[in-house]
Copies of this chain bind each other. A is one copy, B any other.
Amino acid sequence: MTVTLADVAARARVSPATVSRVLNGNYPVAASTRERVLRAVDDLDYVLNGPASSLAAATSDLVGILVNDIADPFFGIMAGAAQTEIGGPGDGSGRAGGEKLAVVCNTGGSPERELTYLTLLQRQRAAAVVLTGGAVEDPAHQAAVSAKLTKLADAGTRVVLCGRPPLPDGEAVVAALAFDNRGGGRRLTEHLLSLGHRRIGYVAGPLERTTTRHRLEGHRDALRAAGLVGDEERLTVHGPYDRRSGYDATLELLRREPEVTAVVAANDTVALGASAAIRDRGLRIPEDISVAGFDDLPFSVDAVPALTTVRLPLFEAGARAGRLAMGKETPPPGGIATIAAELMVRGSTAPPRGQ
């Protein structure tokens, strides 16, 4: 019932080897023969058996893209960009030539699921793996991931990090594209300080995440440089990277310190929740309290007032990661590139009252 290479070969009156060569395209075949084979393929509606092909060739055309939260456009934008570089445009025939199968795997931020997905991709002999977004900082987990990536690399899988800091021993990795979270966080808080803010609340992301830590460190670097020390812990609340957490954490912040004049959120989504909480408390943005985010997601410019934030070139970074995973671009020197973060000053930040 199911059509195999041999069936195609028989119909085209050539050997199976020739059909294989035509399909894979990387071998000289006479034009007339190729013609005949392709016609047989179409006539029989033949579809290559991926597992058999992968087994014989010891490689597959699967490329995995791991994301922490697929419902978050931060990851969606990067993953989509990577996929466009990896998947190829197709030829419209639906026949599918040498395309890679670029797939997105959602870890939900869980270290276990991250490892499970890596194992599953290893099992499939994936051609490449792209890990996006911040890493969990638990040492045991980091060691496990490093070990897994090393094994993947040894088996010929290209490993690329995108929006994630380099591994301690970067050996296993083709390239690491890291966002300048620390620098962005610092410049954002410097902006608030320059407006005159002195009591700045910080709604941080989950603990033990590199992204959380780096953004917070940048914030505190700026505070320290301004001589504002001692209140950091009290003015920081941690929570997940979602709207709800931003809402709740901001209420908690206002409870701890009713005199805050600005709230910095771990990212734009959290900033949205923070803004809602501030308004629900009857306060105005930015007249009573300034609000700032991070990432500059598409909706941030449409917030009311428009959100001051730090722009990350998510699409460009994702596309570059995709090209690196395909070996279409040479890795940066040392395999590490830092991607700049740009401060976007908009309407949600202003000088504090009476300034």
Q: Which residues of A contact B (CB under 8 A)?
A: 2, 45, 47-55, 60-62, 64, 69-73, 76-77, 79-80, 83-84, 87, 89-92, 94-96, 99, 101-106, 108, 110, 112-113, 115-125, 144, 148, 151, 155, 242-243, 269, 272-273, 275-276, 279, 298-299, 301-304
Nearest residue (CB) in B for A88 is B116
Which residues does chain B contribute within 8 Å of A94, judged by CB atoms? 112, 115-116, 118-119, 144, 148
Residues of B within 8 A of A303 (CB): 304
- A sample of 13 more A-B contacts (CB under 8 A), given A83-B106, A87-B116, is A50-B54, A50-B125, A64-B103, A70-B83, A71-B76, A76-B76, A95-B119, A99-B116, A104-B104, A243-B302, A272-B302, A279-B304, A303-B304
Cβ distance A63 to chain B, nearest Cβ, rounded Å: 10
Looking across the interface, which residue of chain B has its beta carbon closest to that of A74? B71
- Contact residues in B for A72 (Cβ distance below 8 Å): 73, 76
Does the CB pair A70–B60 fall under 8 Å?
Answer: no
Q: Which residues of B contact A120 (CB under 8 A)?
A: 50, 61, 96, 99, 101
In the bound complex, how far is the Cα of B300 from the Cα of A269, in angstroms?
Answer: 12
Q: Are B272 and A299 in contact (CB under 8 A)?
A: yes
Q: Which of B102, B103, B106 contacts A80 (CB 8 A)?
A: B106
Instruction: Check B103–A84 contact: CB distance below 8 A.
Output: no
**A87-B113, A119-B95, A272-B302 given; A104·B47 CB < 8 A:** no
